[in-house]
Amino acid sequence: MTRSLVTGLTIMWLLVGSWASNIQAAADREKLLTEPGVYGTFAVFALNNEEWAKQDPATRILRLTSLKGVVEQHQEHVIIDLYLLRGLSDQGDLLFRIHAAELYETQEFLLDLKSSQFGKHLKTVGVMHGLTKKPVYVPGFPDQMKDDLNTISDPGRKPYAVVIPIRKSAEWWGLDQEKRAAMMQEHTAATLPYVKTVKRKLYHSSGLDDQDFIAYFETSKLEDFHNLVLSLEQVQEFRYTRRFGHPIVLGTMKSLDEVVELLAQ
Amino acid sequence: MTRSLVTGLTIMWLLVGSWASNIQAAADREKLLTEPGVYGTFAVFALNNEEWAKQDPATRILRLTSLKGVVEQHQEHVIIDLYLLRGLSDQGDLLFRIHAAELYETQEFLLDLKSSQFGKHLKTVGVMHGLTKKPVYVPGFPDQMKDDLNTISDPGRKPYAVVIPIRKSAEWWGLDQEKRAAMMQEHTAATLPYVKTVKRKLYHSSGLDDQDFIAYFETSKLEDFHNLVLSLEQVQEFRYTRRFGHPIVLGTMKSLDEVVELLAQ
Amino acid sequence: MTRSLVTGLTIMWLLVGSWASNIQAAADREKLLTEPGVYGTFAVFALNNEEWAKQDPATRILRLTSLKGVVEQHQEHVIIDLYLLRGLSDQGDLLFRIHAAELYETQEFLLDLKSSQFGKHLKTVGVMHGLTKKPVYVPGFPDQMKDDLNTISDPGRKPYAVVIPIRKSAEWWGLDQEKRAAMMQEHTAATLPYVKTVKRKLYHSSGLDDQDFIAYFETSKLEDFHNLVLSLEQVQEFRYTRRFGHPIVLGTMKSLDEVVELLAQ
Amino acid sequence: MTRSLVTGLTIMWLLVGSWASNIQAAADREKLLTEPGVYGTFAVFALNNEEWAKQDPATRILRLTSLKGVVEQHQEHVIIDLYLLRGLSDQGDLLFRIHAAELYETQEFLLDLKSSQFGKHLKTVGVMHGLTKKPVYVPGFPDQMKDDLNTISDPGRKPYAVVIPIRKSAEWWGLDQEKRAAMMQEHTAATLPYVKTVKRKLYHSSGLDDQDFIAYFETSKLEDFHNLVLSLEQVQEFRYTRRFGHPIVLGTMKSLDEVVELLAQ
Amino acid sequence: MTRSLVTGLTIMWLLVGSWASNIQAAADREKLLTEPGVYGTFAVFALNNEEWAKQDPATRILRLTSLKGVVEQHQEHVIIDLYLLRGLSDQGDLLFRIHAAELYETQEFLLDLKSSQFGKHLKTVGVMHGLTKKPVYVPGFPDQMKDDLNTISDPGRKPYAVVIPIRKSAEWWGLDQEKRAAMMQEHTAATLPYVKTVKRKLYHSSGLDDQDFIAYFETSKLEDFHNLVLSLEQVQEFRYTRRFGHPIVLGTMKSLDEVVELLAQ
């Protein structure tokens, strides 16, 4: 019954939503996801499980509708991707990845999320910011990555997503640019065997947060991803890594409707 | 009275359950427990003691029945082992070890567990993932280990289980394959005196979580296990270990029925 | 409705407030913000979200009025700047920067804040103290910085603020004064390209708190700030840094009225 | 009034208890406290102060009676020593030291403790396990220590107890046996001046928990104990110590009746 | 109204208290504050702000009276100094410094404090113990310090107090006594310019707690104290410091009556 209520709700949203605007939104999304100078925020929230379990089904759906409302309202300005951590992570239940041209737009979305009827059940566990930049070390590589990121993933099988904050040592930053470039080339070469099954995106964080980089991965083949990380641990550049993870955040990509349906139960 | 109620409940389950399907399940279990490419998840939960103590016996049994229901429902897809940490660990009360061909199956089980009537009393304390792999360093060793793991443990005396997350240093990964193999041979030799009393299983975690390996041990002789660890601390490979435990999780293996009976009290 | 209520409230405050005294206050503010020997305190508070969400709009406004009252009452003695962390930081919701000639004046303000009707919804997350000092290393630089800090920021666009606690290594303090001065000159040179878009202010903390310095930044161009930090990570002085951030606190500058309006919703 | 109620309760216990069985228990206790191969568990609990303060005196006494009941019931299998941390430690309020031939017996006691009417007010703060072993390094020393441990402490003046978890570095374990033995002899020599006023007992923990050793001390002269630790910090072996304390747990030895009386107030 | 009630209460206390006994107490205080072999305990408590705010003024005063009662009752055996951290520290609200000839006397006071009507609103945040000792390194210095500590501070202006836990490295303790003495002389020389404005007292903690020393400072001139710490960071001995602060606790000295009056509001 709960499930059919949610489905009905979803259909209603489909009818009411002005889908024409979504064509423009798709173009903007493309731009924000591929261009440099875009801010990426990873926000992890924990759902107050005991409180949430006490709500009756109708109240839950009402509150999840407020989640949908806030996301719809802001997605003209920011791109919001949603991941389910629950069950796979001890960090929290939901991960929002938000891309925006300016960080205050991300703040406005998250303020409205927290003020919403759903938001009062959420506890902010972690927020990390990064910035997309033009590749500096290996100019040939990123086009391939960009193409790859544009590949539409199989709709029937949502991939896993992994977020790894990285901090380099002072020694790394003290190396001259050439040495760093040479090591990054070795690093990049190690990733090539996995370029088709593991998508990567890099965010630069120095000063914005307590890491230098946020490495974001998407894959349907977790074993490939694991082997990729193993390869990266074996190149020389890894010796200049002071923090790798802590925490590594692993979840599954979900549509807003899927999350609503799962949490309504 | 509580105890006889639980026993009655157990008998009912025995009658209702379709045990034919369990023969196939046993074969699948065998496969998931011995083959490479299988995901192992260790999930530690704390029971909200104060809330749980407030429930009357009938409610507790009803909620524990929901635990049984969720486990039964998912055990066609995933293998679920249960350990009691309560009393022996400050990490939490229950440890679930889940083996699955794909991590999303593990997630589906844990989502249902958390949404269940019992699950709302649980707090997720820690979740760690690893992957079984074909042995690379010492091909002769693992067969013995595999045989050993297949040995049916004494039903009258459930052994202890210990879970140790391990992270190697960047120096370790920077060593060439041969040097690492030589050190692993010394490591393996140190374990041989304990191969009959201490069962071991290794999970590879790099990228999936904040450790490189999860070492899992089962034993009825904890002193042998302690001496095994002492031996492993004395080989050269140990100097390349950056994290060993933190936390070490120690508990006792329990059947689902034993856990139900213990928590019903 | 809530919004118009708040606006009405704001107008009332504007009328009642004796604005003549504000001219003197502005002069004192100037002095406290530019002179050495002034104490700067950064206090981060988290709003109890679940409790706050339960209050009806009228109660919220009443409590936010108590916040305004406390700030107005103390701003003759201390300078209070307010930043919204909510959404951008996992540290807390509000950051107060307080400048005072004596730290007990800061304590008196924060005591009254915590005792106020609004304060009982606040949890103290972090408090850091520092002291402004005459520049010792590079006497030529600070005038430019001072001028820069006096520039009135664009009223239509409130900048971002970032707070970075820094601890130097024992090796740093063990270096002779000349070597340190030479490295600080290299450090300062690295900041020059960003002097127009990123404002900086340094507080000395050794003994007052668990860091040696608090570096405070204001900017409308976060990317410039990020590039500034990248440059600072590449100079020799950075190798003598034991702590950089942990946490880095990032928020947006807000007027008291803006904060009241946002939290009233 | 509360005090006389407790005293009456104590007398009742004295009359009802079958003290003959205690003679055998004393012999078993002696064995468990002096022989190798015995498991020692240190479990720290915090009392939920706010909840406890709300109970009326009669309820408190009823709950403390359940504590007495659980301890009495298990002391045929395990040896239970009780320490009051409250006031002296920020770790918790009570420390139980439990000696058992098998760790599952300790678990059974702690399970019953947590399920008791008193136990629901307790939060498990820390649990550490170790194993007693025959001395390997300096065979002459332990007899003296054993004799010393058998000395009945002054009944009128309960001594202080200090628990220090210790982890050695990988370098320590990599040293050959002879070098370690030589350093341990220097270590032992440093303890000799304090052997009469400071009792010591060593538990081996590698693999059982996140330390290699648990050092347990009893003394009425804390200053002597402090000087003993100072001496131990100055021998060569201390340079191979990676963790010393963190936390050091300090409390006072109390009989079960004393604890009951104190907490009844 | 609340304030006058408190004042009345204070006067009543003044009349009822037998002030003759205070003359002896002052002599004992002098002895405990200046002699070696005295235990100093620093206990930090956080007030449950939300609960406290809910109490009506009369209840608050009743509870604060219980605080006064406990302090008065124990001050024949232990010396109790009180500091207000609230507003200046994220560690807690109140710091008690307790001097006692034996640590169990300190425990008795803190047990009664926690059992009092006021104590149930307190959460123990941190407890540190140390021991006063005869100076070993630089015999000439401490007399001056002792004189200084006896100087009655300006009653109109309560000074700031700072508590810094310090742990030395294993290398420090491994140095021979002469080298350490030479470095301590350099350390002491660095403090001389501040001896008149910054009072210091040293407690030895090895074994009693997770630090080697507790350095306690009192000053009305925080800038002098900051410069003193800066000087101490520049001497050679500082390179052998493994922990300095973490946390540094900063507050203002308050009389019991001042604390009562502040918390009654």
The token pair that represents C89 in the structure block: 């930081």
Mean pLDDT of D24-48: 86
Identity of residue D197: T
The CA distance from E119 to E113, in Å, is: 5
Q: Count how many pairs of residues, chain A against chain B, have C-beta atoms within 8 Å.
A: 93
C-beta separation of E97 from E151 below 8 A: no
Residues of D in contact with E171 (CB under 8 A): 239
**Alpha helices, H only, A97-197:** 103-115, 141-150, 170-174, 177-191
Active-site pick, D60, D63, D180, D200? D200
Per the domain annotation, does B134 fall within a domain? no
Do the chains contact at E86 and C37, CB–CB below 8 Å? no
Q: What share of chain A is helix, strand, coil (3-state, %, to 5)?
A: 50, 25, 25
CB A93 within 8 A of CB A47: yes
Nearest-CA residue of chain C relative to A126?
Answer: C90
Return d(Cα C147, Cα A220) in angstroms, integer. 55
Residue C187 is predicted with a pLDDT of 96
Handedness of CA A23, A28, A30, A31 (dihedral sign): positive
What span, in angstroms and rounded, lies between the C-alpha atoms of E95 and A240? 42
E29: domain range?
2-131+255-264
| Residue E161 within any structural domain of the chain | yes
Let me know: does A100 contact A106? Beta carbons within 8 Å: yes
Given a cut of 90, is residue C13 above it in pLDDT? no
Nearby residues of A167 by Cβ (< 8 Å), 6 or more positions away:
A210, A211, A212, A213, A241, A242, A243
Do D104 and D95 touch, CB atoms closer than 8 A? no
- Structure tokens belonging to residue A32: 């924000």
Query: Quick one: residue D183, left, alpha or beta (phi over 0 = left, psi -120 to 50 = alpha)?
Result: alpha
The two structure tokens encoding residue E178:
């002469």
Q: Nearest chain E Cα to D230, which residue?
A: E206
- Express each pLDDT in B189-237 by its tens digit: 999 999 999 999 999 999 999 999 999 999 999 999 999 999 999 999 9
Q: With touching defined as 3+ CB pairs under 8 A, do chains E and C touch?
A: yes
Do C150 and C225 share a structural domain? yes
For range A55-60, the mean pLDDT: 94
**E31 lies within 8 A of chain C by CB:** no
Q: E4: exposed, middle or buried (C-beta count within 10 Å: 0-12, 13-18, 19+)?
A: exposed
Pair E191, E231: CB distance under 8 Å: yes
Considering only alpha carbons, which residue of chain D is nearest residue E123?
D49
**Are B246 and D174 inside 8 Å of each other by CB?**
no
- What is d(CA D80, CA D40) in angstroms, rounded to the nearest whole number? 10
Same domain, E98 and E114: yes
Closest by CA to D211, choosing from B248, B240, B162, B191, is B248
Q: The domain that contains D85 carries what CATH number?
A: 3.30.70.1030
Report yes or no: B104 at the A interface, CB cutoff 8 Å.
yes
- Res. D206: pLDDT tops 60: yes
Interchain contact, A171 vs C239, CB within 8 Å: yes
pLDDT, chain B, mean: 86
User: Residue A134: inside a domain, yes or no?
Assistant: no
**What local confidence, expressed as pLDDT, does residue E7 receive?**
52
Task: Give the pLDDT confidence of C160-194 residue by residue, as tens digits.
Answer: 999 999 999 999 999 999 999 999 999 999 999 99
Q: What is the pLDDT of residues D77-107, one digit of tens each?
A: 999 999 999 999 999 999 999 999 999 999 9
Mean pLDDT of chain C: 86
**What pLDDT does A14 receive?**
42
D124 plus D145 within the same structural domain: no
The closest alpha carbon to C159, from C167, C169, C149, C168, belongs to: C149
pLDDT at C49: 84
- E160 at C interface, C-beta within 8 A: yes
Task: State residue E30's pLDDT score.
Answer: 74
> From the list D90, D160, D241, which residue is nearest E124 (CB)?
D90
- Condensed to tens digits (0 to 9), the pLDDT of residues A16-48 reads 444 445 556 666 777 788 899 999 999 999 999
Q: How far is the alpha carbon of E253 from chain C, nearest alpha carbon, in Å?
A: 11
What CATH code is carried by the domain that includes residue C161?
3.30.70.3420
A-chain residues near C83 (CB < 8 A): none
Residue E250's DSSP bridge partners are: E162
What was the pLDDT predicted at A144?
52
- List Cα–Cα distances, A110 to A73, B52, C54, C115, E177, in angstroms: 12, 35, 19, 29, 59
Q: Are strands D94-100 and B241-244 parallel, antiparallel or unpaired?
A: unpaired
Contact C110 E247 (CB under 8 A): no
The CA–CA distances, whole Å, from A246 to A97, A205, A211, B207, E80 equal 18, 15, 10, 11, 42
Is any Cβ of chain B less than 8 angstroms from the Cβ of A164?
A: yes
* Candidate list E60, E63, E180, E200, residue with the active-site label: E200
Residue C20 in domain = yes
- What is the mean pLDDT of each successive set of 10 residues along chain E, which is 265 residues long? 49 43 65 90 94 92 96 94 97 97 97 95 97 70 49 58 98 96 95 94 97 97 97 97 97 96 92
Min Cα separation A83/chain B (Å): 12
Among A79-83, B19-23, E224-228, the minimum mean pLDDT is found in B19-23
Q: Report whether E252 contacts C107 (CB < 8 A).
A: yes
Quick one: pLDDT at residue B204? Answer: 98
- List Cβ neighbours of E138 (8 Å cut-off, separation of 6 or more): E181, E184, E185, E188
Residue C250 contacts A where some CB pair is shorter than 8 Å: yes
Interchain contact B/A (3 or more Cβ pairs less than 8 Å): yes
Q: Give the C-alpha separation, A67 to A83, whole Å.
A: 14
pLDDT at B157 over 70: no
Whether E14 and E38 map to the same domain: the answer is: yes
Indicate yes or no: CB of A51 within 8 angstroms of CB of C50. yes
Distance CA A264, CA A60 (A): 6
Q: Is the confidence at residue C140, as pLDDT, over 80? A: no
3-state secondary structure chain B: CHHHHHHHHHHHHHHHCCCHHHHHHHHHHHHHHHCCCCEEEEEEEEECHHHHHHCCHHHHHHHHHHHHHHHHHHCCCCEEEEEECCCCCCCCCEEEEEEECCHHHHHHHHHHHHHCCCHHHEEEEEEEEEECCCCCCCCCHHHHHHHHHHCCCCCCCCCEEEEEEEEECHHHHHCCHHHHHHHHHHHHHHHHHHCCCEEEEEEECECCECCCEEEEEEECCHHHHHHHHHHHHCCHHHHHEEEECCCCEEEEEECHHHHHHHHHC
On chain A, the residues whose CB falls within 8 A of the CB of C239 are 170-171, 174
Contact of chains B and E by CB distance (3 or more pairs under 8 angstroms) = no
- Residues in chain D closer than 8 A to E39 (CB atoms): 222
Kindly tell me the sign of the dihedral angle through the C-alpha atoms of E161, E165, E171, E174. positive
Residue whose entry in the numeric block shows the structure tokens 């933190």: B246
Residue D68 has pLDDT above 90, yes or no: yes
Residue A135 lies in a domain: no
D128 three-class SS: strand
d(CA E52, CA E59): 10
Please check whether residues A100 and A39 belong to one and the same domain: yes
Where residue B55 falls among pLDDT bands split at 50, 70, 90? very high
Determine C/A contact with 3+ CB pairs under 8 A as the test.
Answer: yes
Going by pLDDT thresholds of 50, 70 and 90, the confidence category of residue A97 is very high
pLDDT at D149: 42
DSSP string, C14-48: HHHS-THHHHHHHHHHHHHHHSSS-EEEEEEEEE-
Are C131 and E223 in contact (CB < 8 Å)?
yes
Among the listed residues A60, A63, A86, A200, the single catalytic one is A200
Do E93 and E194 share a domain, yes or no? no
Q: Which whole-number Å values give the CA distances from E76 to D113, E9, E117, in the listed order? A: 38, 22, 21
Active site residues of C: 200
What ipTM describes this predicted complex?
0.86
Nearest-Cα residue of chain A relative to residue C161: A208
Instruction: Give the lowest-confidence range in B85-89, B95-99, B155-159, C238-242.
Output: B155-159
Question: Residues with Cβ < 8 Å from D190, sequence gap 6 or more?
Answer: D228, D231, D232, D234, D235
Contacts 24+ apart (CB under 8 A), B171-175: B171/A239, B171/B240, B172/B237, B172/B240, B172/B241, B173/A230, B173/A233, B173/A234, B173/A238, B174/A234, B174/A236, B174/A238, B174/A239, B175/B240
Write a three-state SS string for D2-54.
Answer: HHHHHHHHHHHHHHHCCCHHHHHHHHHHHHHHHCCCCEEEEEEEEECHHHHHH
Distance from CA of E88 to the nearest CA of C (A): 6
Residues C77, C167, single domain; the answer is no
Q: Residues D101-145: pLDDT tens digits?
A: 999 999 999 999 999 999 999 999 999 999 999 875 454 445 554
How confident is the prediction for chain D on average, in pLDDT? 87
- Residue D11, pLDDT > 50, answer no
Of the candidates A87, A241, A250, which has its C-beta nearest B208's C-beta? Answer: A250
**What per-residue confidence (pLDDT) applies to A155?**
44
Q: In whole angstroms, what is the distance from residue D242 CA to residue B243 CA? A: 12
How do residues A155-164 score in pLDDT, each as one tens digit? 445 699 999 9
Whether D48 and chain E come into contact, CB under 8 Å, resolves to no
Amino acid at C192: L
How far, in Å, CA of E14 to CA of B229, rounded?
A: 65
Which of helix, strand or coil describes residue D187?
A: helix
Q: How many domains does chain B have?
A: 2
Tell whether B148 and B79 lie within a shared domain. no
CB proximity D241 to E under 8 Å: yes
- Residues B116, B179, single domain; the answer is no
The pLDDT of residue C28: 73
In a domain, D135, yes or no: no
Q: Name the phi and psi angles at A9, rounded to 5.
A: -60, -45
Instruction: Decide if E208 and D230 are in contact by the 8 Å CB cutoff.
Output: no
What pLDDT, in 10s, does the model give residues A106-148?
Answer: 999 999 999 999 999 999 999 999 999 987 545 444 555 445 4
Residues of A in contact with C53 (CB under 8 A): 115, 120
If one counts every other C-beta atom within 10 angstroms of the C-beta of residue D167, the result is 19
Nearest CB to E131; choose among D86, D164, D226: D226
| Mean pLDDT value across chain A | 87
Q: Does one domain contain both C96 and C162?
A: no
Does A66 touch chain C if contact means CB atoms closer than 8 Å? no
| C-alpha D96 chain-centroid distance | 6
**Distance from the E227 Cα atom to the nearest Cα atom in chain D, whole angstroms:** 30
Q: What is the pLDDT of residue B265?
A: 83
Q: Does A30 touch chain C (CB under 8 A)?
A: no
pLDDT band at C136 (very low <50, low <70, confident <90, very high): low
Q: Which residue of E has its CA nearest to D245?
A: E210
Which of D98, D137, D172, D209 to probe the B interface (max B CBs under 10 A)? D209
- Looking at per-residue confidence, does C76 or E129 come out higher? E129
Active-site residue numbers of B?
200
Judged by a CB distance cut-off of 8 A, whether residue C123 touches chain A is no
C-alpha distances (whole Å) from E184 to each of E149, E190, E240 are 21, 10, 12
CA distance D208 to D100: 15
Q: What is the pLDDT of residue A74?
A: 97
Nearest to E207 among D162, D238, D241 (CB): D162
Residue C67 lies in a domain: yes
C160 touches chain A (CB under 8 A): yes
| Best to test chain C binding among A50, A116, A208, A211 (most C CBs inside 10 Å) | A208
Per-residue pLDDT band at B144 (split at 50, 70, 90) = low
Let me know if residue D13 belongs to a domain: yes
Whether residues C124 and C216 share a domain: the answer is no
> Nearest chain A Cα to C248, which residue?
A209
User: In terms of Cα–Cα distance, which of E169, E177, E235, E232 is closest to E206?
Assistant: E169
The CA–CA distances, whole Å, from D249 to B27, D45, D121, D167 equal: 50, 12, 21, 16
- E148 and E245 assigned to the same domain: yes
